[in-house]
Structure 1
Amino acid sequence: MLPLLAFGGQIVLTNRTFSRVQEMMKAFQHLGAVSALPMDQLAQQHVDLVINATASEVNDEITALLESMGKST
């Protein structure tokens, strides 16, 4: 996360459980432009990079999310 922020990037965190992602955001906000967004609103955002750190059993869910954003894996 630090290299992306160092180059002026903005980090948008999302999670299936929004309260969990809000906790993560609070832990990292002091580093720079870090925000949280409910997963169902992510498809409406412009993003250049998606970093997936989920278990493989939700892989279909991530693929569907990327497709709704016009992205691919």
Structure 2
Amino acid sequence: MTAPDAQRPVPGPPRPVPGPPRPAAAPAAPAPAGPAGTVPVPPAERFAALAERPVADHVAVFEAEHDRLQRELSTIDQL
């Protein structure tokens, strides 16, 4: 019998390959109008201040976004 080999390290993620600069992303489409009397919040601002808020408030923010996404996705079947 032979002794087991020493464990080898697990390879990490591949290194980035230098190349030409990527073009800037196209600006996001404006958010559709929400329910009457509300102002739509731009996508970048939905989670912008999350780091400054207490962790206990994060649940409410993510639940609100989940509800919004469910409403948006429910309109796909109507097309």
Tell me the TM-score normalised to structure 1 length. Answer: 0.25
Higher strand share: 1
Q: Which gives a bigger RCO, structure 1 or 2 (Cα 8 Å, sep 6+)? A: 1
> Looking at CA atoms only, which structure, 1 or 2, has the larger radius of gyration?
2
Higher helix proportion: 1
